[in-house]
Amino acid sequence: MIWAVLLAGGAGTRFWPLSSPTKPKQLLPLTRNDQSTAEATLIQLDGLVPRERILLVTGEALAPALGATLGLPSENMLVEPFPASTAPAIVWATLEALTRDPDAELLTLHVDWAIGNREGFHQAARAALDTARKYDCLVTVGIVPSRPETGYGYIVPGPELDPTAKKVARFSEKPDAPTALDLIANGAFWNSGLFAWTGRRLVAEIEQHTPEIAPALSALEARDVAGFFQRVTPISIDVGLLERSNAVAVVPGDFQWDDIGNWDALHRVRPRDGDGNVFIGPVHARDAYECVAWSEAVPVVLSGVRDLVVVCANGRVLVMPRKSAPQMKRLLESLPPDVRNLPS
């Protein structure tokens, strides 16, 4: 049976000052006004994976809000004792699924993406699961790039397995712009982070390739979650396994996908007005073009400007060029704590 693992960590910095450690982007209505990104992701799984077979991995600070928002069974809320990156979280959820279903096949995805075209998403997910089953391998879904994005990882495909799937030749993580253009020209995909595998194959590959985690598997088998997290070395699933294994395949995904990495992403995933602006809240403009503006309550007026991000939230006002949005973490590190830290 198909299971889904939803990863819902995150420190809540990239959408400052709207986001915070207790309300990061997965709890914010970034893609549409009436639902959070976590809710939107869960809805995309309807018709593919039943709610009783969806496992959500998150931290203690976010678990109550996510539980109330998503309404998953309490036994499906896996609360990490502390964050250790994606590989330990995925392994824990996989072992949990295998405990309940020894033949579990799993999809793994993040809850803070923008996913469009549900039919295309389901087709890609089923193709990935079919490939994982047919070739007993790990599978990632690749998205055909629409721009030389430097904030995403890329997948360079290798030999064809069948008309749908290819082996992965290598991964390229967050290349510079010239390298991204070369990768695109040579048929590389964006690495969506949507993965598929059988539970048994994932565990076998972890045992073979991931010494940061393999010795701690016995703790999970003994149901000692705290002991498992204490013994592992934090590492991502990409670095800890996918980049090391020779049993990784890629299938293409024909659906809208964006990881909504920063404020500039709203310009891609939200409807724009006739001047190319995305406005949320009481925002008014005259001769403003290609801007992203969000205000929780205070009226904001833009006049004679272009390509700006303007945010008024949590007692803070942010104004920056859209092109600078990827540097948000660097900006926050430079701010004094009394400005950076939001009121509770």
Domain residue ranges of the chain, discontinuous segments joined by +: 2-258, 263-340
Tens of pLDDT, residues 24-82? 889 999 998 889 999 999 999 999 999 999 999 999 989 999 999 999 999 999 999 99
Tens of pLDDT, residues 83-139? 999 999 999 999 999 999 999 999 999 998 999 889 999 999 999 999 999 999 999
For residues 290-312, give the mean pLDDT.
97
Cβ atoms within 10 Å of 273's Cβ, excluding its own: 12
Structure tokens at 155: 């997948």
Among 28, 14, 102, 12, CA closest to 66: 28
For residues 292-310, give the mean pLDDT.
97
Q: Is 282 exposed, middle or buried (0-12, 13-18, 19+ CB in 10 A)?
A: middle
Residue 21 scores a pLDDT above 90: no
> Percent of the chain scored above 70 by pLDDT?
99
Give residue 20's pLDDT: 87
Residue 151 scores a pLDDT above 90: no
Of 3.90.550.10, 3.40.50.720, 3.40.50.300, 3.30.450.20, the CATH number of 2-258 is 3.90.550.10
> Which residue type is seen at 210?
T
Residue 234 scores a pLDDT above 90: yes
Predicted TM-score of the model (pTM): 0.94
Give residue 310's pLDDT: 98
User: What residues form DSSP beta bridges with 141?
Assistant: 251
Return d(Cα 72, Cα 70) in angstroms, integer.
Answer: 6
> How high is the mean pLDDT of the chain?
95
User: What residues form DSSP beta bridges with 80?
Assistant: 59
Tens of pLDDT, residues 153-163? 999 999 999 99
> Which residue type is seen at 113?
W
> Which residue type is seen at 92?
W
Q: How far lies 250's CA from each of 104, 166, 314, in Å?
A: 20, 5, 42
Q: Tell me 216's DSSP state.
A: G
Return d(Cα 185, Cα 179) in angstroms, integer.
Answer: 10
For residues 140-163, give the mean pLDDT.
94
Residue 344 scores a pLDDT above 80: no
pLDDT interval class at 238 (50, 70, 90): very high
